[in-house]
Amino acid sequence: MIETNRIECKRELIFKGAVIGGLASGAIDVIEALTKRRKEVLKLIANNTTITYTKIAEALGINESPVGKHINALKTKGFFIRHGGTQGYWQINIDRI
């Protein structure tokens, strides 16, 4: 029962953009199917579910075009979905992390 509550709390906080004790960040690091750059993009989104392509590009020091390609690849693999367009937020699929 306690473990279920802990998992639910973890999901809620990650959806809001928080990372509890680096759990999501550490989990992202061990996903072998992702390149280093895609892991970086996923971490940025996990830390801030309202982050924009522009802010991701600035944080990584790259153009928005490659950011879009990384995001599309991550969406295709089921790591997250976008809700609400440009004014929306990213919903992380906790089961994939």
Token reading at 31: 């996903």
User: 31, exposed or middle or buried, with CB in 10 Å at 0-12, 13-18, 19+?
Assistant: middle
Q: Record the pTM.
A: 0.71
User: 47, exposed or middle or buried, with CB in 10 Å at 0-12, 13-18, 19+?
Assistant: middle
User: How much is the pLDDT for 95?
Assistant: 72
Tens of pLDDT, residues 35-53:
999 999 999 999 999 999 9
Residues of the chain scoring pLDDT < 70 = 1-26, 29, 96-97
User: How much is the pLDDT for 24?
Assistant: 59
